[in-house]
Amino acid sequence: MNTDIYELKDETTIQEQVFAAQIKLLYKNLLVSVIANLICAALVFFGLYQIPENIFIKSWFAAVIFVTLIRFLILYIYKHSSNNFSSLNLFIFGVILSASLWGIVDSFLMPKGELMQQMIVIVIIAGVTAGGSQSLNASLTASIIYISLIVAPLCAWLFLQNNLIYFILGTAMTLYLLFMLITSARSCNLSKQELTLYYENLLLVKKLYFSNEKLEESYKTLEQHENEIILLGKMSGVLQTCKDLQESYDIIIFAAKELFGRFNGCLGILNSSTNNLEIIKQWGDSQHIKAVFNTSDCWAIRKGYSYFVPDTTKDVICYHFNSPPGAYVCLPLILESGVMGLFILHADNKEIFAEYKPQLAANFCETIQLSLSNIMLHEELYEQSIRDPLTGLYNRRYMDETLARELKRAFRENKSLCVAMLDLDNFKRFNDVNGHEAGDEVLTFMGIVLKENFRMSDVACRFGGEEFLIILTDSNLSTAYPRLDALRKQIKNGEVFFNHHKLPPITISIGIAEAIKDGSSVKEIIDAADKALYAAKAGGRDRVEVLNNITHDSLDIL
Ligand code: GH3
Ligand code: MG
Ligand code: MG
């Protein structure tokens, strides 16, 4: 690419550029023309005048050398100056000096009487004029001054000689002068036009070059924008297939790092029971953000839309930040039901936030809040579908699935598994005496106690009515029996209140069966536990019974 494009300044006009180029051209030719001038002067001085005694000729040649030095000095000044107007003036000054000296030689110092020598001077003058004017065609003023100052005195001298030959020569030289002036004017004009065209062309190329660069830039931005949209789409697609929230958080942070990797960031999710936001995933440096904080600590959540702080030293900071440096933005994740979370981007260096794209962040948050709310709804529905509403325990449907799975696992891993069937004793009578609602209170109490005792890998379910089933993983009859007997005692000694009145104690009967020993399928093992429960009822209720031959006594001493 032409490097002149970079020299083209936007603020200068074409005329100014052309003027500067003309000055440049004038000075470019200066060195050669000054040397040529000196050689021609030396030819005249040493050749024609043979270093005469004439003090005027000697002074003239001394003046030529002096002017040559002045013109070198002008060239030096030009190289160290940036003012084009003063450079032109100085140049013309040099031209005047140089041309005047030739004017002097061809008029006042013309060799007297020696026609041949006079002819040689005239020829040299014509040559100097023609050669010099060529090197000056970048400036019409300089050309006119140069030609006129050299040739006009010669014409005048020739006409003043009162001789036909000189008159003819004078006429010829006058015509030569006019011809030189006309051709110089044309040549200067052409040179100017050429330069104007060149710079106009250069300007167009420059515009084309920069608009091409801009086009490339906007193409890159578009490409990046497209990649971001593709990534958002991919994230949204993957989020739809997430099994649970935990899985979705990983996907969200992965995509966030891809899109906003230059910043530190984190995702906070609302814990509805405490109304606190808990930071559940983060990347980069997050030491300035509190791990758990109240929703009212964030200005974005209070306002209901994003809160951007471009300079943390000059703005009001959210309370969930511990004096963070740089800049940050909080984007609330809001659903119809209210706030569900918060997405935060932060950078220690506020300059990085020049790259922050609000629209991209808004699109990202919109995508994740929709996906998260879908997954939350899905989880809520699933939870509802597997839970018994009165006791909060798992329901029979979930129990069927879980028992089948746990049985398979126990067989595969060669581990023991027990199933206990619980039934409230004489609950019909309890309802009749205390009312159905009091009975419900007892069932709720059962749910609380069972959840407390069997919360880890064991699964407690409401099997139906006032019957419960517990899957005890990694347990055999010997380990299950004492736990269930302790449970029986805990329930018997438990205090249940209804309408501020303490209800009479309730007892339960429990039947236990062990996998493989008492059955290998879901049905077989439940039937076995049921049989053991029947035995416990038959044995007088308020007891734990096992199906096999192990007696109470043998278990008690274990
Ligand atoms: P047993 O000791 O032999 O188990 O006697 P029982 O009275 O507990 O047994 P039965 O099967 O005759 O009665 C079960 C009672 O449980 C009948 C029903 O009123 C009560 N029941 C079942 N589901 C609920 C419930 O959701 N709420 C209340 N309050 N009672 C229930
Ligand atoms: Mg019962
Ligand atoms: Mg029953």
Give tens-digit pLDDT for 390-410.
999 999 999 999 999 999 999
Burial degree of 418 (CB within 10 A; 0-12, 13-18, 19+)? buried
pLDDT on residue 319: 96
- Give yes or no for residue 441 CB within 6 A of ligand 1: no
Q: Measure Cα distances from 35 to 80, 99, 109, 140 in Å.
A: 21, 14, 22, 22
Which pLDDT tens digit goes with each residue over 449-489? 999 999 778 999 999 999 999 999 999 999 999 999 999 99
pLDDT on residue 558: 37
Q: Report the distance separating Cα 152 and Cα 534, nearest Å.
A: 143
- Give yes or no for residue 424 CB within 6 A of ligand 1: yes
pLDDT on residue 272: 86
Going by alpha carbons, the residue nearest to atom 20 of ligand 1 is: 428
- Give yes or no for residue 117 CB within 6 A of ligand 1: no
| Ligand having the closest approach to the CA of 446 | 1
∠ Cα 434 439 445 (to 5°): 130
- Give yes or no for residue 428 CB within 6 A of ligand 1: yes
Going by alpha carbons, the residue nearest to atom 12 of ligand 1 is: 428
Which pLDDT tens digit goes with each residue over 112-164? 777 888 888 899 999 999 989 888 989 999 999 999 999 999 999 999 998 89
pLDDT on residue 546: 93
Q: Are 515 and 417 in contact, with CB atoms under 8 Å apart? A: yes
- According to DSSP, residue 350 is labeled G
Flag whether pLDDT at 51 surpasses 70. no
Edge-to-edge strands, sheet with 292-294: 292-294, 276-283, 264-271, 338-347, 327-335, 307-309
pLDDT on residue 557: 37
Q: Report the distance separating Cα 290 and Cα 486, nearest Å.
A: 43
Which pLDDT tens digit goes with each residue over 69-79? 999 999 999 99
Q: What is the mean pLDDT of residues 426-434?
A: 97
Which pLDDT tens digit goes with each residue over 205-235? 888 998 999 999 999 989 989 999 999 999 9
**Higher local confidence (pLDDT), 10 or 73:** 73
509 membership: H or E segment, kind and range: strand 508-514
| Ligand having the closest approach to the CA of 431 | 1
Contacts of 305 (CB under 8 A, 6+ apart): 332
Of the candidates 427, 433, 432, which has an alpha carbon nearest to the alpha carbon of residue 446? 427
Rg (CA), the chain: 53
- For the CA of 431, the closest atom of ligand 1 is 29
226 membership: H or E segment, kind and range: helix 164-240
Q: Report the distance separating Cα 172 and Cα 175, nearest Å.
A: 5
Beta strands in 206-319 (DSSP E): 264-271, 276-283, 292-294, 307-309
Which pLDDT tens digit goes with each residue over 68-107? 999 999 999 999 988 888 999 999 999 999 999 999 988 8
Going by alpha carbons, the residue nearest to atom 26 of ligand 1 is: 465
pLDDT on residue 506: 95
| Ligand having the closest approach to the CA of 435 | 1
- Give yes or no for residue 142 CB within 6 A of ligand 1: no
Q: Report the distance separating Cα 445 and Cα 500, nearest Å.
A: 15
- For the CA of 440, the closest atom of ligand 1 is 29
- Give yes or no for residue 467 CB within 6 A of ligand 1: no
Residue 244's region, left for phi above 0, alpha for psi from -120 to 50, else beta, is beta
- Ligand 2 center to 465 CA (angstroms): 8
- Ligand 2 center to 496 CA (angstroms): 18
Show the domains of the chain with their CATH numbers.
3-206 (no CATH), 247-382 (3.30.450.40), 396-555 (3.30.70.270)
Which pLDDT tens digit goes with each residue over 166-180? 999 999 999 999 999
- Give yes or no for residue 468 CB within 6 A of ligand 1: no
Instruction: Please state whether the predicted TM-score (pTM) of the whole model is above 0.75.
Output: no
Of the candidates 146, 139, 157, 154, which has an alpha carbon nearest to the alpha carbon of residue 180? 146
Among 390, 396, 428, residue to substitute to test ligand 1 (most atoms within 8 Å of Cβ): 428
- According to DSSP, residue 298 is labeled -
- Ligand 2 center to 467 CA (angstroms): 7
Q: Report the distance separating Cα 197 and Cα 190, nearest Å.
A: 10
Confidence of residue 548 (pLDDT cuts 50, 70, 90): low
- Give yes or no for residue 427 CB within 6 A of ligand 1: yes
Of the candidates 24, 122, 117, 104, which has an alpha carbon nearest to the alpha carbon of residue 59? 104
Tokens of 286: 């997050």
Among 421, 431, 510, 543, residue to substitute to test ligand 1 (most atoms within 8 Å of Cβ): 431
pLDDT on residue 81: 87
- Give yes or no for residue 431 CB within 6 A of ligand 1: yes
Q: Report the distance separating Cα 265 and Cα 240, nearest Å.
A: 23
- For the CA of 423, the closest atom of ligand 1 is 4
- Ligand 1 center to 431 CA (angstroms): 8
Contacts of 322 (CB under 8 A, 6+ apart): 287, 288, 289, 290
Which pLDDT tens digit goes with each residue over 186-210? 999 999 999 999 988 888 888 899 8
**Higher local confidence (pLDDT), 9 or 462:** 462
Contacts of 163 (CB under 8 A, 6+ apart): none
Q: Which amino acid is at 367?
A: T
Buried b (16+ CB within 10 A) or exposed e, 148-179: bbbbbbbbebbbeeeeeebeebbeebbebbee
- Ligand 3 center to 424 CA (angstroms): 7
| Ligand having the closest approach to the CA of 467 | 3
Contacts of 417 (CB under 8 A, 6+ apart): 406, 407, 410, 471, 472, 473, 474, 475, 514, 515
Going by alpha carbons, the residue nearest to atom 4 of ligand 1 is: 425
Tokens of 180: 């030189």
Flag whether pLDDT at 550 surpasses 80. no
